[in-house]
Chains A and B, each alone.
Chain A
């Protein structure tokens, strides 16, 4: 059957996340972006919503079951509040979710309870590399087997909370495939950049370059153990998360600019009463809906183990990049000069919007 209603449980979760997004994340977003600081309390409150915890079974310290659909629904609601805040709250998932999905039993037992027990703590992952044609399936960072260890070499970029992270899940190319390796902060040859990444947006999210020079990782720390893991499913989960957050950001921009257009007067009427504006809004809403549904379908396919899930996630994420740029650009346009002023959030959302094309790897469901 086709059905588009979230379950009651999902709806309750979405409502809780929405409340946090609107009452906590959104009001803090501007200052966080300007001062490049996200209050710890704010992250802690988001962590307490328990999105990650609810996706991990009790046997590993959580209290639920992972579902990409639920994850996509929740993360969209959160990103509606603020993208940087969302990515910060969800950073430990970057480490834990791949372990949950593809880790060996020992890895799950060792790491999952540590991540989800108690307060938010910096566990993270490093996928992105600093190249214009960065391709998650063709990484420049390499892993080679030498005796009992894999040796990692390369440089990663855009790694959230890398400074002070307990462990980093590092993606590297091994025998032509992308594989993940659990690297502890004490590992020799691992160095995290002093300075934060300076990006077009996400100033509030501390991200760093991470260098790996001859870093030895025991075979047991390869995700999934010596046999490794399926990368496609992890990449698909990241792409779905990326698409879902893009929908959230776009929806924020759409709603804000729509409300503005209903207030702002020109030539004696509200500008929303002008077709030039009204049609832009209609198209924004339509494109948001299109990508939201595509994202849901990809997530559902992933949850139900469909063969084409990975490709669907690719399409959703690719479509989301265009949609987010289009919608956020128009939001700025509708506010006109005011949209260009940083007092209004739309210009930040437009900067977020362009980022969707490069943010795969910063969130996972």
Chain B
């Protein structure tokens, strides 16, 4: 395939449908759920679950396509990740917080998808096609281990008598942890993927993910955080005290090799998910920029494209610069996901897309609030909310700085030891 920028049909269709969803189901509730933190948007969740089923899709969890049942489909170039990126961008244009309440496997399923066996994928991922909306979450971060997740203290010890893993530790900042773990009547049983060490002396090589089913004894959601933005998304602290999970719930090898293969697999998850998180940043940035242009147009301010900079007003320059940022960051997301779809190694492009989108989302939303002045700062409009929401995209799934580190190591060919 030559260089091309034609969005495939499934993507333009999804963008069209999700724009309506965003306008009808998300935007009207944005302010309410921003001001009623921790309230669960049941109507929206049920609507989205049914809508996605009706559309033939199950959730935003990557599809299990190892069976090769649909021979016809296999022939077309894969666009799975590109499609998810487009969906997330469109939903985040609606509301980043509510997008997190979209039923499906999220990062938990992504971990199973990239670090699990074929059997595990079938076992753990099929639930997202069920009757009830179902969630899964990823538990990596601990109070003392954020970006440096090799410092994880949570331990998993094999009880050889029962053939169960016994997990102890405290996890924080678990996005969707409550909906994934707590057994609500309206939800299917979800799971959390807990990252723990099976051999602390082995450092990163001893790190594994464990699928911990919702409701598992000894596991408790101990706190829901109060946040600057994306308040509709629950951010849980979860404690595990002698939590027992079946032997086969370990993602990756149960024994420790001398290399980092297991940990690298965990990090490989990020190559797939970073551009997707970047896509959410692009979505909220686009929302803010479009809103600004609407307001400017209402006030009779035209943006005169094509003029040399010397002839532009300061607002025109800002808007044009923002468009350049927005468009180019979206292209970086598309390229990174296109590489993932085509099984090209994309660690560099994935992290670059996240670096860029994190920058772009924060800069654009902050600039939009500034340009709109008293309107921008007012809670009567959503611009100020978008600025608060956007900030998280430069923090989670690797801060802008961690992603710079990844990019730098990639381009320099340095190991973690060579560039700390």
A residues with CB within 8 A of B: 1-7, 10, 69, 73, 132-135, 137, 258, 261-262, 272-273, 275, 278-279, 281-283, 285-286, 289-291, 293-294, 296-297, 300-301, 304, 310-312, 314-316, 318-319, 322, 357
Query: Could you name 20 residue pairs across A and B whose Cβ atoms are closer than 8 Å?
Result: A1-B4, A1-B79, A2-B82, A2-B338, A4-B338, A4-B339, A6-B2, A10-B3, A132-B310, A135-B308, A135-B311, A261-B412, A272-B419, A273-B419, A275-B405, A282-B352, A283-B355, A289-B352, A290-B356, A312-B327
Q: A135-B307, A311-B306 are in contact. Are A258 and B1 (CB under 8 A)?
A: no
A137 and B305 alpha carbons, distance in the complex (Å) = 11
Asked if A318 and B320 make an inter-chain contact with CB atoms under 8 angstroms apart, the answer reads: yes
CB within 8 A of B8: which of A1, A7, A272, A314?
A1
B414 in the interface, Cβ–Cβ < 8 Å?
A: yes
Asked if B411 and A6 make an inter-chain contact with CB atoms under 8 angstroms apart, the answer reads: no
CB within 8 A of A5: which of B3, B331, B407?
B3
Interface string of B70-96 (1 = CB under 8 A from A): 000000010100100000000000000
- Name the residue on B nearest A312 (C-beta): B327
Q: Which chain B residues border A7 with CB–CB below 8 Å?
A: 2-3
Q: Which of B332, B356, B409, B412 has the most CB of A within 10 A?
A: B412
Q: Which chain A residues border B6 with CB–CB below 8 Å?
A: 1-2, 304
A133 and B311 alpha carbons, distance in the complex (Å) = 7
- Name the residue on B nearest A295 (C-beta): B328
A296 and B320 alpha carbons, distance in the complex (Å) = 18
CB within 8 A of B329: which of A135, A290, A301, A312?
A290
Q: Which chain A residues border B82 with CB–CB below 8 Å?
A: 2
List residues of B (322-358) whose CB comes within 8 Å of A's CBs: 323-325, 327-329, 331-332, 334-335, 338-339, 349, 352, 355-356
- Name the residue on B nearest A310 (C-beta): B306
Q: A294-B331, A319-B328 are in contact. Are A278 and B412 (CB under 8 A)?
A: yes
CB within 8 A of A290: which of B331, B339, B401, B405?
B331
CB within 8 A of A293: which of B4, B8, B331, B339?
B331
Q: A278-B405, A278-B419, A293-B332 are in contact. Are A286 and B352 (CB under 8 A)?
A: yes
Asked if B4 and A294 make an inter-chain contact with CB atoms under 8 angstroms apart, the answer reads: no
A-B contact count (CB 8 A): 145
B309 in the interface, Cβ–Cβ < 8 Å?
A: yes
CB within 8 A of B308: which of A134, A273, A310, A315?
A134
CB within 8 A of B323: which of A289, A297, A300, A315?
A315
A172 and B355 alpha carbons, distance in the complex (Å) = 44
- Name the residue on A nearest B11 (C-beta): A2
Asked if A258 and B412 make an inter-chain contact with CB atoms under 8 angstroms apart, the answer reads: yes
CB within 8 A of A279: which of B327, B334, B349, B401?
B401
Asked if A272 and B414 make an inter-chain contact with CB atoms under 8 angstroms apart, the answer reads: yes
A69 and B325 alpha carbons, distance in the complex (Å) = 21
Asked if A133 and B308 make an inter-chain contact with CB atoms under 8 angstroms apart, the answer reads: yes
B408 in the interface, Cβ–Cβ < 8 Å?
A: yes
Q: Which chain B residues border A322 with CB–CB below 8 Å?
A: 321
Asked if A315 and B327 make an inter-chain contact with CB atoms under 8 angstroms apart, the answer reads: yes
Q: Which chain A residues border B306 with CB–CB below 8 Å?
A: 137, 310-311, 314
A311 and B323 alpha carbons, distance in the complex (Å) = 11
- Name the residue on A nearest B334 (C-beta): A2
Known: A273-B418, A278-B412, A282-B352. 16 other contacts (CB 8 A): A3-B338, A4-B335, A134-B308, A135-B308, A135-B311, A258-B411, A279-B404, A289-B335, A290-B328, A290-B331, A293-B328, A294-B327, A296-B3, A301-B5, A315-B327, A357-B309
CB distance from A38 to the nearest CB of B (A): 29
Q: Which of B323, B324, B334 has the most CB of A within 10 A?
A: B324
CB within 8 A of B408: which of A132, A282, A290, A318?
A282
A318 and B305 alpha carbons, distance in the complex (Å) = 11
CB within 8 A of B309: which of A310, A311, A318?
A318
Asked if A4 and B356 make an inter-chain contact with CB atoms under 8 angstroms apart, the answer reads: no
A235 and B338 alpha carbons, distance in the complex (Å) = 31
CB distance from A116 to the nearest CB of B (A): 25
Asked if A291 and B1 make an inter-chain contact with CB atoms under 8 angstroms apart, the answer reads: no
Query: When A and B form their complex, which 4 residue pairs have the shortest distance between CB atoms, in order from nearest?
Result: A290-B328, A278-B408, A3-B1, A282-B407
Q: Which chain B residues border A315 with CB–CB below 8 Å?
A: 320, 323-324, 327
Interface string of B378-407 (1 = CB under 8 A from A): 000000000000000000000001001101
A137 and B8 alpha carbons, distance in the complex (Å) = 35
A167 and B329 alpha carbons, distance in the complex (Å) = 42
B7 in the interface, Cβ–Cβ < 8 Å?
A: yes
CB distance from B328 to the nearest CB of A (A): 4
A300 and B4 alpha carbons, distance in the complex (Å) = 7
- Name the residue on A nearest B76 (C-beta): A1
CB distance from A196 to the nearest CB of B (A): 24
- Name the residue on A nearest B413 (C-beta): A262
Asked if A2 and B7 make an inter-chain contact with CB atoms under 8 angstroms apart, the answer reads: yes
Asked if A294 and B328 make an inter-chain contact with CB atoms under 8 angstroms apart, the answer reads: yes
Q: Which chain B residues border A286 with CB–CB below 8 Å?
A: 332, 352, 355-356, 407
CB distance from A161 to the nearest CB of B (A): 25
CB distance from B7 to the nearest CB of A (A): 7
CB distance from B219 to the nearest CB of A (A): 37
Q: Which chain B residues border A319 with CB–CB below 8 Å?
A: 321, 324, 328
Q: Which of A262, A279, A315 has the most CB of B within 10 A?
A: A315
Asked if B412 and A281 make an inter-chain contact with CB atoms under 8 angstroms apart, the answer reads: yes
- Name the residue on A nearest B312 (C-beta): A318
CB distance from A175 to the nearest CB of B (A): 18
Q: Which of B8, B320, B408, B420 has the most CB of A within 10 A?
A: B408
CB distance from A130 to the nearest CB of B (A): 14
Q: Which chain A residues border B408 with CB–CB below 8 Å?
A: 272, 275, 278-279, 281-282
CB distance from B80 to the nearest CB of A (A): 13
CB distance from A269 to the nearest CB of B (A): 9
